[in-house]
Amino acid sequence: MCSLQRIQSLAKQHATAITLNQLMRPFSGKHSLIRQGKWLQKELPIHFARSIDEFHQLPFGTTQNANIKQILDIYMETFETISSFPDIRMERDATNFCTLLHSQLEQHRNVARFLAVCCQELRIMYPNIQLDSFLDGLFTARLSTRILSENYILMHSSPREGFTGVVQHDLSPVQVIQESSDQIVRLTQSIYGVAPEVEFRGSLGCTVDYIPFHVHFMAQELIKNAVRATTERHLPLRNAALASSWWPSCQVEASPTQLPKVVIEIQEGDIHLTIKISDQGGGMSEAVQKKAWQYGWSTAGQDWDDENCDVRKELAGFGFGLRLTRLHARLLGGDVIMQTRPGHGTDMYILLNHLSDKGGQLVHPIH
């Protein structure tokens, strides 16, 4: 069967869901290594076939976009490489499969950035194109395959103390979030000359079994929004100075004490661990709230054409952060909720499920 026919056939199949409890069960012995490798060798091509098929469902002509073609080439190569790998029969085969998965993960490292550029280009070419559902499916598949692949690699090739695969036991949310907030404050100061303080409150000693990267990503995206909104709203002489603050020659005479704090509160419940990020960045109107959840929407960067544009985009991103943050949370049974007060500020809530609870949460297949 040729690749296209096989892709179309596999794209119709259902990928198997797996709970995080199952993902966290330690593997032991070569037979487990072989069994799990066989399962991944069967499941992963279904995920990639569905993603490739989704690309081909886009409006006619879109696949001629250079960035989409580049992404499709990466997905096709991964599909072919995994599909053509010999049957896993011995421990050596499983070890080689781990090596193959690691190399393929590296190939996909920049796919998210390519997709952000694609989104911008396609909306210029096709102003009425609807991409949110397509991107949700693609990013869900991307996260699921990465979790499954990295979990297999780490369990068998690079086990770490305090971890089961990708999941860290007794992870301290405060420690992960503090690292992110410190980096964001430093970046903000390099751009604007000033940044708000970040204050932590609540159950700061609580821990949770969770995937560290997910906590880092979600906190980072929401703290970026909170810190940037607070800084831009409260810079002295905002209406005049905000525009001139784009240039490093402009000396801003503000200090952190003149800016309201960004407050991060952590509370542990029976089902969820809640991370609340509060700012006084002006909030959003109801109309803006709806747009804020769309891929590619951002209030930033429209007039950034000076030499420091790239560093500002590092803070503001490509408009994918809010939607992707919610997708990361929902993938593992949690959620992200917005409460905003127009003219004042915004409270963002990240709900993390306790992954070690009975039943666990699903690493969702592609729908």
Residue 243 has pLDDT above 70, yes or no: no
pLDDT for 235 equals 83
The single residue listed with the structure tokens 């906590």 is 215
What are the structural domains, with CATH classification, of the chain?
3-162 (1.20.140.20), 168-363 (3.30.565.10)
Residue 249 has pLDDT above 50, yes or no: no
pLDDT band at 296 (very low <50, low <70, confident <90, very high): confident
pLDDT for 251 equals 42
- Residue 1: how many CB atoms within 10 A of its CB? 8
Using H for helix, E for strand and C for coil, what is the string for 194-252?
CCCCEEEEECCCCCEEECHHHHHHHHHHHHHHHHHHHHHHHCCCHHHHHHHCCCCCCCC
Average pLDDT over the chain reads: 85
pLDDT for 247 equals 37
- φ and ψ at 248, to 5 degrees? -65, -20
The pair of structure tokens assigned to 123 is 């909306």
pLDDT for 16 equals 81
User: Residue 28: exposed, middle, or buried by beta-carbon count in 10 A (0-12, 13-18, 19+)?
Assistant: exposed
More confident residue, 72 or 257: 72
Give the pTM.
0.87
Mean pLDDT across the stretch 237-253?
A: 42
- Digit-coded pLDDT (tens) for 185-242: 999 999 999 999 999 999 999 999 899 999 999 999 999 999 999 999 998 645 434 4
Q: Rounded to an integer, what distance in angstroms lies between the CA atom of residue 105 and that of residue 93?
A: 18
Is the separation of the CB atoms in 306 and 247 below 8 Å?
Answer: yes
Is the separation of the CB atoms in 283 and 343 below 8 Å?
Answer: yes
H helices of the chain, where?
3-11, 20-24, 29-56, 66-83, 91-107, 111-125, 132-156, 173-192, 212-234, 238-244, 286-292, 309-316, 321-331
Share of the chain above pLDDT 70, in %: 82
Mean pLDDT across the stretch 250-273?
A: 79
Residue 324 has pLDDT above 50, yes or no: yes
Write the single-letter amino acid at 37.
G
Contacts of 332 (CB under 8 A, 6+ apart): 20, 210, 211, 214, 352, 353, 355, 361, 363
More confident residue, 262 or 238: 262
Is the separation of the CB atoms in 311 and 187 below 8 Å?
Answer: yes
Residue 61 has pLDDT above 90, yes or no: no
Best CA proximity match to 347, nearest among 238, 269, 267, 234:
267
